[in-house]
């Protein structure tokens, strides 16, 4: 199958992503057209895309935003990393309020290191109004407030835990008109996650320890406590996508 190279800007960095032409024509374009059709009947359409660390959420939503612009569809792609607790909080609070378990900072990226209450409040506002949205600054390693003005008809939100069946997270789903899960095997993600983390300057040994302590555990957590999604994109080790339920693209049914 033929791939195309696409330049994208993700988290302030320019990358060269690759997508299969068949996936673009058979999945992504029909998907965006369905969203466009649904958005005509809704005040604003909110779509969640969840998946494990390294599943490719940021890259895919950035590409879908670019493709939507090409198709004259009003869509913005945003993430939830701007709702991390600040480092000052993570370095002064303990895991489960237990000093023996260590500081929250040591597991940054885990569900408990996010300000879920604030995220819920923002999602509620987004349903009704155009708002400013925070991002995560990868240079300062802290959230940057009011970084993006969100005013599109369709808002595509990506995040690891948007479909987590956990007391603090599960009620977020009520804000979504459509939910998507990126299903990728853990063994297909490990090398890329380690390579990406080493780019921040960590040694291989430190990166491997971080993967075992955070990324691998979070992958297992998401896989074991997953709310049902409307669509599943199954992604193989070559990053080709297949649909678990293709009827979404064929039937005139409400999202």
pLDDT tens column, 190-209: 777 777 777 767 788 878 88
- Report, at the CATH architecture level, how domain 3-249 is classified: 3-Layer(aba) Sandwich (3.40)
Closest CA to 74 of 101, 21, 38, 104: 38
Residue 228 DSSP class: -
Strand partners, 76: 155
Please choose, from the candidates 56, 94, 78, the residue with its C-alpha nearest in 3D space to the C-alpha of residue 183.
Answer: 56
pLDDT tens-digit readout, 173-184: 999 999 999 999
pLDDT-derived band at 254 (thresholds 50, 70, 90) equals very low
The yes-or-no verdict on residue 128 having pLDDT over 80 is yes
Question: What pLDDT score was predicted for residue 253?
Answer: 43
Q: What is the mean pLDDT of residues 34-40?
A: 88
What pTM was computed for the model?
Answer: 0.90
- Which residue is it, tokens 């095997």? 185
* pLDDT band of 83, cuts 50, 70, 90: very high
Return d(Cα 179, Cα 100) in angstroms, integer: 37
Domain ranges of the chain: 3-249
Which tokens belong to 2?
A: 């033929």
Looking at residue 103, what DSSP letter applies?
Answer: B
Q: What tens digit of pLDDT does each residue of 143-165 get?
A: 999 999 999 999 999 999 999 99
Task: Using DSSP bridges, classify how beta strands 241-243 and 231-235 pair: parallel, antiparallel or unpaired.
Answer: antiparallel
> Does the structure show a pLDDT above 70 at 238?
yes
Query: Residue with structure tokens 């955070």?
Result: 214
Residue indicated by tokens 């988290």: 11
State the pLDDT confidence band at 166, using cuts at 50, 70 and 90: very high
Question: Which of 165, 205, 212 minimizes the C-alpha distance to 53?
Answer: 212
Residues 228-238 have a mean pLDDT of 92
Torsion from C-alpha of 15, 20, 22, 24, nearest 10 degrees: -10
- H helix runs in the chain, sequence order: 21-23, 29-39, 57-70, 87-90, 116-128, 190-198, 204-210, 216-224
pLDDT at position 117 over 90: yes
* Confidence at 250, pLDDT banded by 50, 70, 90: low
């Amino acid at each position: 199958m033929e791939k195309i190279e696409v330049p994208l800007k993700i988290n302030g960095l320019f990358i060269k992503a690759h997508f299969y032409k068949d996936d673009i024509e058979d999945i992504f374009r029909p998907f965006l057209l369905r969203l466009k059709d649904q958005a005509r009947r809704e005040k604003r359409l909110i779509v969640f895309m969840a998946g494990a660390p390294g599943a490719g959420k940021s890259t895919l939503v950035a590409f879908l935003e670019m493709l939507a612009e090409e198709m004259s569809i009003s869509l913005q792609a945003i993430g939830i990393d701007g709702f991390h607790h600040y480092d000052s909080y993570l370095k002064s609070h303990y895991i489960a309020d237990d000093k023996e378990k260590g500081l929250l900072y040591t597991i940054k990226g885990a569900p408990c290191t996010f300000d879920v209450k604030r995220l819920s409040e923002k999602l509620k506002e987004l349903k009704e109004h155009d708002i400013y949205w925070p991002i995560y600054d990868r240079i300062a390693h802290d959230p940057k407030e009011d970084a993006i003005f969100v005013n599109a008809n369709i808002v595509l939100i990506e995040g690891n835990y948007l479909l987590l069946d956990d007391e603090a997270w599960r009620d977020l789903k009520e804000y979504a008109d459509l939910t998507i899960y990126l299903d990728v095997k853990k063994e297909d993600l490990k090398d890329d996650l380690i390579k990406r983390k080493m780019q921040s300057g960590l040694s291989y040994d430190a990166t491997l320890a971080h993967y075992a302590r955070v990324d691998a555990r979070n992958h297992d957590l998401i896989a074991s406590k997953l709310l049902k999604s409307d669509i599943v994109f199954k992604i193989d080790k070559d990053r080709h996508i297949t649909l678990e339920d293709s009827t979404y693209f064929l039937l005139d049914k409400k999202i």
